[in-house]
Amino acid sequence: MIYAVFAPLLFAIFVPWISKFKDRIHTGTFVFIIPFIIFLYFVQFIGSDFNPIRQTVNWIPSLDMNLDFYLDGLSLLFVLLISGIGALVVLYSIFYLHKSEKLGHFYVFLLMFMTAMLGVVLSDNVFVLYAFWELTSISSFLLIGYWNFKERSRYGALKSMLITVFGGLSMLGGFIFLTIITGTTSVQAMIDQVDIILASEFLPLILIFILLGAFTKSAQFPFHIWLPDAMEAPTPVSAYLHSATMVKAGIFLIARFSPIFAGYEGFFIAVSLVGIITLCWGSYMAVRQTDLKGILAFSTISQLGMIMAMLGFGTQAAVFAAVFHILNHATFKGSLFMIAGIIDHETGTRDIRKLGGLLTLMPISFTLALFGTFSMAGVPFPFLNGFYSKELFFDATLGLEGVAWLAEAIPYLAVFGSIFTFVYSMYFLFGVFTGPKHLEQLPKKPHEAPFGMLISPIILVLGVILIGLFADKVNQPFLLHAAQAVNSGVEYHEVKFWHGFNLPLIMSLIVVAVGIILYLTRTKWNGIYNTLPGKLSFNRVYDWIVEKLDQYSTSITKTYMTGSLRTYMSLILGTTLIVTAIYMYITDGFAIDYSNLAEITTLEVAVVITIMIGAVATLYMNNNIAAILVTGIVGYGVSMLFVIYRAPDIALTQLVVETVSIAIFLLCFYHLPKLRKREEPVSTKLSNSFIAIGFGLLITLVGISAHSSNWYSSISEYFLENSYKLGGGDNVVNVILVDFRGLDTLFEITVLGIAALAVLALIKMQKKKGAK
């Protein structure tokens, strides 16, 4: 199984070499083999006696993160979709993409995506699942932006990236919670511990996190906005990622975790409500689109909403209908995307207003589109699989238990959404293939597509018909296992075309009847879209958020990154002041211990007062020399203090260093600007003095506080005793400097040396003005 997952990625390594011969043989021909083999490998698991298979390969055992692949009915459904439709899409892309395109890039991204998607549906380990999940986001980003010279492609790619990664990250948060609560990283082991999870107080939070991940990925309301913009991708990508596979990753996630959350009412409310709103909004908006792929994108959104809603219901019938519809949707939506691509390819436009009357020119495409759209609309014919799952959907909406208002509203909303589904399906079909021809408006002269391009949609449409005709042949050995993986209580019940004149059938008939009326009178009520949504659109919200984030972060950064060192200094000191003061206040650091203080002598007082006068006077000096000399008072005063406190070495050093620094100051005179009074507003002066005085006070208090808290005895006793014995010297300071702590001295003289070389470099090696 692990080979199946990583085969596409491994093969992707060779694609750049293969694509060198693309002029002779289309790269896709080789790529096609991979998903086809994977598909054949997984087909063998279909059967009534299927049992889950597990395979583990160690990755990071110490963190309990292993490549733990688990193949149950649900995973099997998805891997077959991924590999099967993957193979068809590659086949289709061979005829769709011209050899002048960057085929190497395309197939590398596509194979990367295939591995990611297979990994998502097969992983049992939540963190591995997350890793593959993000890989799908990245590869989808690359594929949407495949024509990166188009501005719309880049916009769409960025949008989908931002939204899906936002969801992915919140999903990771949910996974971390789950792992902490259950102590395991395996999904199946979590399902076994469902009681612990349901008892957890974090349950709503986990649910929100995971649902955010699923809703963003599966383009649920209001995160659906990235999907229409993702239609800038090449059509094979749209068919593959944005109808059959990636957008179902969120569905898969919900299905995978619904054994855990099904017992929680919030799950029912959130998933059903969001799903049904997405269904209605998506189908309502699809009618408004003029771009073929735009219609299909909103159609995908609405169909995903329908599946999501069924998973939210969680009843046996609903779960079965959901997995059934996952399969059905993949077949008809994949084929419709391919037909949209064919129309685009053969006529040069996807704008439905310019298209029309292609029926006689492209009869095969029309036939295929007919089956696809009718199946999508759920028209009651026995050979359309969409009808069966829609019927099951209506059946599932009836008699729901749970929150009463929601349960009662759902059937009406479902019918409402389905009516619009019918309308846009008809609009898609008849808008393109019937009506007046506008051949002169089309960039190309339309004609039927080459046969190779038609193979894939033909196979998919055959799937539509065969599943429709022999629904039980598919359901019993295959889909039942998938449904049981979601809800273990699902029992098999036969899908029949005619099951009596009951409520679901009436709902279907209402949908068809009202749908026909609405479609025929479309021009009359189309104006509604000007009031709802009118200018309301979540795209605007997204653009607004992105723009404002950009704007505000720029302006916030500009307020503190002024480039003025004064501002930075006051920020640094102010922050230090506030944080330290608060910390000292909390830890009772201001408690002062008055014992153990030495007596104050007159000499000390005199020196300190001199220093203080010097320090304060420095502030008011307007002349360079005066300022330096007054600063000297402070320096010499400090060396006096060292003398008083019996530190001859330090006093000497301080004296000489002070002199030398004054000398250097004087030497630099010529280059220094004249001191001048800065005219500053009162507020700046006030805040500066507040920070200065506050910081001085703080340091004083810290000093006093440090003196008051004498926890351990000093090490100096040791130095005093051993200076002569071990170091051979009476000057303890010197012995410490060169012997006990010689390393410090070594690096200090290194610092001095570096400083000297830096001065040398700055002055001697400066470039003349004007030089580069």
Q: Which is nearer to other proteins, 646 or 674 (CB)?
A: 646
Q: Which stretch binds other proteins (CB under 8 A): 222-230, 231-239, 605-613, 737-745?
A: 737-745
Element (H, E) at 310: helix 292-313
Question: What is the nearest approach in angstroms of other proteins to the Cβ of residue 614?
Answer: 23
- Backbone φ/ψ region at 501: left (φ over 0), alpha (ψ -120 to 50), beta: beta
> What is the dihedral sign for C-alpha 80, 82, 86, 89?
positive
Binding track, positions 604-643, relative to other proteins; x by CB under 8 A: ----------------------------------------
Where does this chain touch other proteins (CB under 8 A) — which range of 57-65, 363-371, 393-401, 729-737?
Answer: 729-737
Give the residue, chosen from 297, 302, 756, 768, that forms a contact with other proteins under the rule CB under 8 A: 756
From the list 532, 730, 768, 772, which residue makes contact with other proteins (rule: CB under 8 A)?
730
For residue 642, the minimal CB distance to other proteins (Å) is: 11
- Considering the complex, what minimum distance in angstroms separates the CB of residue 637 from other proteins? 19
Q: Which residue lies nearer to other proteins by CB, 483 or 735? A: 735
State CA 163 to chain mean position distance: 6
Angle between helices 265-286 and 203-217 (to 10 degrees): 20
**Applying CB under 8 A, which of residues 74, 297, 336, 735 lies at the interface with other proteins?**
735
> Is residue 734 part of the contact set for other proteins (CB under 8 A)?
yes
Say how far apart CA 105 and CA 137 lie, in whole Å.
16
Rounded distance between C-alpha atoms, residue 442 and residue 440, angstroms = 6
**CB contact at 8 A, 372 and 456:** no
- Between CA 117 and CA 78 the distance in angstroms is 9
Under the binding rule (CB under 8 A), the answer on residue 728 touching other proteins is: yes
Rounded to the nearest angstrom, the gap between the alpha carbon of residue 84 and the centroid of all alpha carbons in its chain is 28
In the complex, what is the shortest distance from the CB of residue 663 to other proteins, in angstroms, rounded to a whole number?
A: 7
Residue range at the interface with other proteins (CB under 8 A); choices 465-473, 519-527, 582-590, 655-663 = 655-663
3 state SS of 403: coil
Taking CB under 8 A as the criterion, which residues in 552-611 touch other proteins? none
Question: Helices 385-397 and 363-377 sit at what angle, rounded to 10 degrees?
Answer: 10
Cα–chain center distance at 314: 28
| Alpha-carbon span 527 to 233, nearest angstrom | 30
The smaller minimum CB distance to other proteins, of residues 600 and 762, is found at: 762
Binding mask 669-708 for other proteins (x = CB under 8 A): --x-------------------------------------
Instruction: Determine if 722 is a binding residue for other proteins (CB under 8 A).
Output: no
Stretch that binds other proteins, among 123-131, 250-258, 312-320, 734-742 (CB under 8 A): 734-742
Q: Which two tokens stand for residue 478?
A: 């295959």
Out of 404, 763, 771, 772, name the contact with other proteins by CB under 8 A: 763
Choices 257-265, 310-318, 693-701, 731-739; region in contact with other proteins by CB under 8 A: 731-739
Per CB under 8 A, the segment of 117-125, 379-387, 592-600, 750-758 that binds other proteins is 750-758
- Nearest approach, Cβ of residue 753 and other proteins (Å): 4
Cβ closest to other proteins, residue 367 vs residue 734: 734
Could you give the residue ranges of the DSSP H alpha helices within 470-623? 471-474, 480-486, 503-520, 522-525, 528-531, 538-560, 565-586, 602-619
Q: Do residues 297 and 228 make contact, with C-beta atoms less than 8 angstroms apart? A: yes
> In the stretch 656-675, what mask flags binding to other proteins with x, by CB under 8 A?
xx-xx--xx--xx--x----
For other proteins, the binding residue among 676, 764, 769, 772 (CB under 8 A) is 764
Instruction: Write out the two tokens for 267.
Output: 């799950």
- Nearest distance, CB of residue 770 and other proteins, angstroms: 16
Least gap, CB of 128 to other proteins (angstroms)? 48
Contact 184, 156 (CB under 8 A): no
Q: Which is nearer to other proteins, 184 or 731 (CB)?
A: 731
Count, residues near other proteins per rule CB under 8 A: 39
Which residue lies nearer to other proteins by CB, 667 or 682? 667
What's the rounded Cα separation, in Å, for the pair 10 and 517? 53
If residue 363 lies in a helix (H) or strand (E), which one and from where to where?
Answer: helix 363-377
- CA dihedral 451→455→458→464, nearest 10 degrees, is -170
Which among 169-177, 272-280, 714-722, 726-734 is the span making contact with other proteins, rule CB under 8 A?
A: 726-734
Give the nearest distance from C-beta 768 to other proteins in angstroms: 11
Nearer residue to other proteins within complex by CB, 586 or 765: 765
The contact mask relative to other proteins for 213-252 (x = CB under 8 A, - = no) is ----------------------------------------
> In angstroms, what is the minimal distance from the CB of 672 to other proteins?
12
Q: Select from 435, 648, 696, 703 the one that contacts other proteins (CB under 8 A).
A: 648
Task: Give whichever of 693 and 755 is closer to other proteins, judged by the CB atom.
Answer: 755
Residue 14 pairs with which residues in a beta bridge? none
DSSP letters of 494-519? ---S---S-HHHHHHHHHHHHHHHHH
Please report how close the Cβ of residue 648 comes to other proteins at its closest, in angstroms. 4
From the list 248-256, 421-429, 587-595, 748-756, the region that binds other proteins by CB under 8 A is 748-756
Identify which of residues 2 and 746 has a Cβ nearer to other proteins in the complex: 746
Q: Which stretch binds other proteins (CB under 8 A): 93-101, 163-171, 198-206, 725-733?
A: 725-733
- Three-state SS string across 126-192, please? HHHHHHHHHHHHHHHHHHHCCCCCCHHHHHHHHHHHHHHHHHHHHHHHHHHHHHHHHCCCEHHHHHH
**Residue 65, helix vs strand vs coil:** strand
- For other proteins, the closer CB: 540 or 741: 741
- Residue 708 or 731 with smaller CB distance to other proteins: 731
Nearer to other proteins, 539 or 653 (CB): 653
Torsion of CA 438, 440, 442, 444, to 10 degrees: 130
- 183 Rama class: left (phi>0) / alpha (psi -120 to 50) / beta: left
CA distance 84 to 92: 12
| Single residue of 266, 477, 632, 729 touching other proteins by CB under 8 A | 729
- Which one of 600, 619, 743, 771 is in contact with other proteins (CB under 8 A)? 743
Cα–Cα nearest to 618, from 604, 603, 635: 635
770 is a site residue for other proteins (CB under 8 A)? no
Rounded Cα–Cα distance for residues 340 and 746 (Å): 76
For residue 187, the minimal CB distance to other proteins (Å) is: 56
CB of 593 to other proteins, least distance (A): 33
Sign of CA dihedral 244, 245, 247, 253: positive
Token pair 């029912």 in the structure block, residue: 268
Give phi and psi for 56, each to the nearest 5.
Answer: -125, 130
652 binds other proteins (CB under 8 A): yes
Segment 399-458, which members bind other proteins (CB under 8 A)? none
Residue of 200, 441, 708, 731 interacting with other proteins (CB under 8 A): 731
Alpha-carbon distance of 542 to 589, in angstroms, equals 49
Angle at which helices 203-217 and 126-144 cross, to 10°? 30
Binding stretches for other proteins (CB under 8 A): 648-649, 652-653, 656-657, 659-660, 663-664, 667-668, 671, 727-731, 733-735, 737-739, 742-743, 745-746, 749-750, 752-753, 755-757, 759-760, 763-764
